[in-house]
Amino acid sequence: MPKPTPHAATPALRPSTLERLIPAVGWMRRYQRADLRGDLTAGVTTAVLLAPQAMAYATLAGLPPVVGLYAATLPLAVYALFGTSRQLAVGPVATDSLLVAAIIGGLAVTGGLSPVALAATLALMVGALQLAMGSLRMGFLANFLSQPVLSGFTSAVALVIALSQAGPLLGLSSPAGADPLETARALLAGLPSVHPAAAIVGLGSLIALSAMRRLAPRAPRALVVVVAATVFSVLFDLHSSGVPVVGAVPSGLPTPDFSPPDAATATALLPGALTLAFIGFIEAISVGRALAARHGYRIAPNREFTALGLANLAGGLTGGYPIAGGFSRSAVNNDAGARTPLASLVTAALMLLVLLFLTPLLHDLPRPALAAIIASATATLIDTRIIRFLWRVKRSDLGLLVLTFAATLVVGIQEGILIGVTASVLWFVVRSTRPHTAILGQLPGTESYRNLDRFPEARRIPGMTLVRVDAPFYFGNVTFLRDTVARLREECPERLRALVIDATSINELDSSAATALFEIADEADTFGFELYFAGAKGPVRDVMQRSGFWERVGHDRFYLRVHEAVTAARRNLESRDAISEADPCDPPD
């Protein structure tokens, strides 16, 4: 893994307006010469991988192969100018290609419309939706991708992609669109039919990549394997021996086949466009965040929406189809040494040259070598360290990782990420409805109050119960907190002469919670205990004042510190002889 460049870890200066609109202005101004070698190598390597891959994915989408090349040229340059990820390689991807096939297939049959025109229209609609989402600052959707969900998703996708390359690696055909279990079953059934020469090229390439990773980590491993495999293919005429090669690539710039759709067609495409807009963003943000974390920088989700939208618009206007951030290509791009988006500009320029002049050079490139590059690169996206970390730190988060991983493998890639995000949100809701509360005691000789369960040396205050609520107070947990107060009262009525609520950890109070506070105050009057608050934040106090609760309880019941509230409560109780030093509910020492 390339180490972060010095400027990657250096805090960036405040960007200018032009840099905020076009992020490329910033990285171009600060470009370092040391990054050039890695960017050039990565750009060339990714281009060599992208050309045949784009054509294959276009076929998977039910489109002519040349449409994939369209989608793999101008969109890359547009994203490089407007995106914030330095290693993300956008273009045609397998998951989105399958979705495109499902979306436009029925329309093309029933409406007699050109699949190419429908795909271009779909790309334009996806681009427009992503631009709108970026303008509405909907990048917050990325916040629902917690690290366990993200790691589970990327690891599962990497495994799916690597498994899908096992067949080509050995010269076997893999079932198109099959789930991992079917792919594995087909692979096992086809083992007796492994093509020896293809297996030698594929496994040899995989071994070479692994060896260079250990012995020459700075070498352009993928590029070396591509060149060596192509030379080997030409010298030994592997194609005649039955080893699959890339074959002939159409030359020249394809003529865009786009005609504006009618309202009915646009309406029919809209649900699919929405799905692709969200899935494309999630795919890009998932791999983009994972790579950014490894290189010590951050990406901007709202700008990613905008950059992907502009890239899809560019692809639609030039006869392409919807694009996203590719897991395998991004891994190859990163693995080959990409340091800045210049690598994507190099890839786009080379794709243009490939379309115009260089297609014969791809003819003899063995597909098993490409499969080895993809499998080797995606292996770096599988993070096993986080499993050990979560086992030690937070096993509920490990459960989310395992659930997302399993759902992505068993149910599907799109469904897997949605299941993971949904489970993460539901688990957050469940936890927030039963927030952590602590019964506090005073540390001897101090004015500090700590959780009695964690600080056995802390002592209860006779006649009082001090409770700290570590969560926002909102409609989802009002019942739990009301029940907590009732339980504290019922456990020892003799002790509860004053209830002090440490509100320092309450950062939100909604109308339902304000109503619950009135009910707690009424309960205090009914059962004869006083109610005090300490450390309530400004926004919380504002709601208390606007709701009338401040007046209901009294100004003299609110204090900045717990000790001040305890002192005031003790003074009031002692004046009424309502407290004694011997608390009947405390167990004997």
Across residues 289-297, what is the average pLDDT? 87
User: pLDDT at residue 78 above 90?
Assistant: yes
Beta strands of 402-516 (E only): which ranges? 436-442, 449-451, 464-470, 498-502
- Measured CA to CA in angstroms, residue 399 lies from 151, 156, 391, 424, 436 at distances of 12, 15, 9, 10, 20
Q: Dihedrals φ, ψ of 473, to 5°?
A: -105, 105
Dihedral, CA atoms, 210, 334, 47, 311, nearest 10 degrees? 150
Strand arrangement of the beta sheet that strand 498-502 belongs to: 449-451, 436-442, 464-470, 498-502, 530-534, 558-559
Backbone angles phi, psi at 459, to 5 degrees: -125, 140
Q: Which of 89, 124, 84 shows the shortest CA–CA distance to 305?
A: 84
Token code pair at residue 161: 């992609």
What integer pLDDT is reported at residue 109 of this predicted model?
58
Reported as a single tens digit per residue, the pLDDT across 464-506 is 889 998 888 888 888 888 888 888 878 766 667 899 999 998 9
Which DSSP symbol is given to 356?
I
Given a contact cutoff of 8 angstroms between Cβ atoms, the answer to whether 421 and 145 are in contact is yes
Across the chain, mean pLDDT equals 84
C-alpha 130/C-alpha 313 separation (Å) is 10
Instruction: Compute φ and ψ for 358, nearest 5 degrees.
Output: -105, 10
Mean pLDDT of 125-141: 89
Local structure of residue 354 (DSSP, 8 states):
I
Q: Long-range pairs for 101-108 at CB < 8 Å and ≥24 separation?
A: 101/60, 101/61, 101/62, 102/272, 103/269, 103/272, 103/276, 104/61, 104/62, 104/269, 104/272, 105/62, 107/265, 107/268, 107/269, 108/62
- The pTM score is 0.70
Highest mean pLDDT among 171-175, 290-294, 348-352: 348-352
Q: Do the bridges between strand 498-502 and strand 530-534 make them parallel or antiparallel, or are there none, so unpaired? A: parallel
- Report the run of H or E that residue 418 belongs to, with start and end: helix 413-433
DSSP string, 258-297: -----HHHHHHHHHHHHHHHHHHHHHHHHHHHHHHHHHT-
Dihedral sign computed on CA atoms, order 563, 569, 574, 577: negative
End-to-end, the C-alpha distance of the chain in Å comes to 59
Q: For 430-466, write each residue's pLDDT tens digit.
A: 887 888 889 999 999 999 999 999 999 999 888 888 9
Mean pLDDT of 317-328: 88
Q: What is the pLDDT of residue 585?
A: 53
Averaged over 413-439, what is the pLDDT? 83
The C-alpha R_g of the chain, in whole angstroms, comes to: 31
Question: What is the per-residue pLDDT for 588?
Answer: 42
Q: How far is CA 216 from CA 224, 374, 378, 382, in A?
A: 12, 19, 19, 22
Residue 258: pLDDT over 70: no
Q: Give the Cα-Cα-Cα angle 336, 307, 281 (nearest 5 degrees).
A: 80
Q: 518, 485 in Cβ contact below 8 A?
A: no
User: Are β-strands 530-534 and 558-559 bridged in parallel, bridged antiparallel, or unpaired?
Assistant: parallel
Contact (CB, 8 A) for 124 and 88: no
Q: Which of 162-176, 289-303, 440-454 has the lowest mean pLDDT?
A: 162-176
Cα–Cα distance for residue pair 109/113, rounded to 1 Å: 7
Residue 567: predicted pLDDT: 94
Coil, strand, or helix at residue 533? strand
Please report which confidence band the pLDDT of residue 178 belongs to, taking 50, 70 and 90 as the band edges.
low
pLDDT of res. 442 = 94
State the average pLDDT over residues 365-382.
80
Cβ burial 219-233 (10 Å sphere, 16+ → b, else e): ebbbbbbbeebbebb
Q: Strand ranges (DSSP E) for 484-573?
A: 498-502, 530-534, 558-559
Q: What is the pLDDT of residue 582?
A: 47
Q: What is the mean pLDDT of residues 25-30?
A: 88
Assess contact for 567 and 447: CB atoms under 8 A: no
Asked whether residue 12 carries a pLDDT value surpassing 50, the answer given is no
Q: What is the pLDDT of residue 10?
A: 42
The owner of tokens 């273009």 is 91
Q: Which of 54-58, 246-250, 388-392 has the highest mean pLDDT?
A: 388-392
Tell me the C-alpha distance between 231 and 209, whole Å: 17
pLDDT band at residue 7, thresholds of 50, 70 and 90? very low
Assess whether pLDDT exceeds 80 at residue 262: no
E-only strand ranges, 31-130: 90-91
Confidence of residue 122 (pLDDT cuts 50, 70, 90): very high
Q: Exposed/middle/buried for 260, CB within 10 Å: 0-12, 13-18, 19+?
A: exposed
Phi-psi group of 112: left, alpha or beta (phi > 0 → left; psi -120 to 50 → alpha; rest → beta): left
Between these two residues, 43 and 262, which has the higher pLDDT value?
Answer: 43
Task: Report residue 420's pLDDT band, with 50, 70 and 90 as the boundaries.
Answer: confident
Q: Mean pLDDT over residues 259-271, rounded?
A: 80
Give residue-wise pLDDT tens across range 550-582.
999 999 999 999 999 999 999 988 877 655 554
pLDDT at 257 over 70: no
Dist CA 176 CA 184 (whole Å) = 13
